[in-house]
A = this chain, B = another copy of it.
Amino acid sequence: MTTRADLMRPRKRATLADVASEVGLSPSTVSRALDPSRAAMVNSLTRERIVTAAERLGYRPDVQARSLMTGRTQTIAVIAADLGNTWVTPILHGIASRVSVEGIVPVIAETNDDSTVLTHLIDHMLSRRVDALIVLAARRQDADVISSAARIVPTVVAARGLVDIDVPVVAVDDRLGGQIVAEHFADLGHRVVAQIKGPLDVSNFSLRTEGFSEVAERRRLRQLPVLGEAAVPTEEEGHRLMSQILTEADDRPTAVFAQNDPMAVGAFMAVREHGLRIPEDISIAGTNDMPLTALLDPGLTTVHYPGWEVGYAAASLTLRLLDRVEHVESVCLDPDLVPRASTAPPP
């Protein structure tokens, strides 16, 4: 219900000065009274008056203006590549769980996997004085921009790693992820395989490529020649590359590794359009264990990605940087195979 008080609420936020003149005291005193850590310095009776006046006027401290003095905004920026890839959701939730208990608000922005946008966004966020930055959207060419940002504000790179960078990184061992899938294919008896690669300037995809190829070689799987990579690791690109594999290759692979789940979904659709069955005609594995992949038809074999833990760890490192801890170790977590119905022995 809308009360009269609500209707009369002012169109501008009350300021410290408003409260001060209301109670006939100086802004400084009001400032002290309203700051828990300094409230003790002020007479408890006058404090009471100040607090009630502040409430009546709906006073809220202005974080922006305050930050000019304190340098803190209680806000951190999280920069993601693509919120449509539900892989990131657990990461965001992990971050939020860790920082919200400290009263810090994470704000999220999206790059659409475009480095230009990333640069603009970092710039904007610094300019808005966020206390820290967590970058989930790093590509190799972004290393400079990110490490410059790190000189201004505590910065952590997560989810997508970056090598040779002087910024803490929280990642999953993606080389191992690629290896696991290749071993799985080999164990099932496949001999001819292919990869649907994501953009190789994203470490996750280059590492998966390497890990998969290493094991493929060791286990003597034949890898069909590479047909380029996805410009962006999305369903559309997965569809395009899978169609290409099915129409252009001299030989048809019996198992395909799509380097993330959206691309695997695109591959599913392409296979269907070609009148082939999964896994009878061709096996497909993805990676990241995105929500819903278990319920696809057939359930998608994938590599579980501990997203919540990655987010939580990234946030923890960030908080330590904010506490001026000098030496913060990077973190690397392990992935696990989740075998489901989309992979089976070759026909």
Contacts and interface: CB of A to CB of B under 8 A. Distances in A.
Interface of A: 1-3, 6, 9-13, 58, 60-65, 67-68, 73-75, 77, 83-84, 86, 89-90, 92-93, 96, 105-110, 120-121, 123-124, 126-129, 143-144, 147-148, 151-152, 265, 268-269, 291-292, 295-298
Nearest to A148: B9
A10 B151 CA distance: 7
A127 B61 contact: yes
A63 B268 contact: no
A339 B120 CA distance: 42
A108 B147 CA distance: 24
A321 to B, nearest CB: 14
A124 B75 contact: yes
A6 B65 CA distance: 30
Tallying the copies of this chain within the complex gives 2
Given A67-B64, A296-B296, A110 B96 contact: yes
A135 to B, nearest CB: 15
A64 B109 contact: no
A96 B82 CA distance: 12
Contacts of A93: 84
A92 B64 contact: no
A128 B6 contact: no
Contacts of A75: 124, 128
Nearest to A73: B128
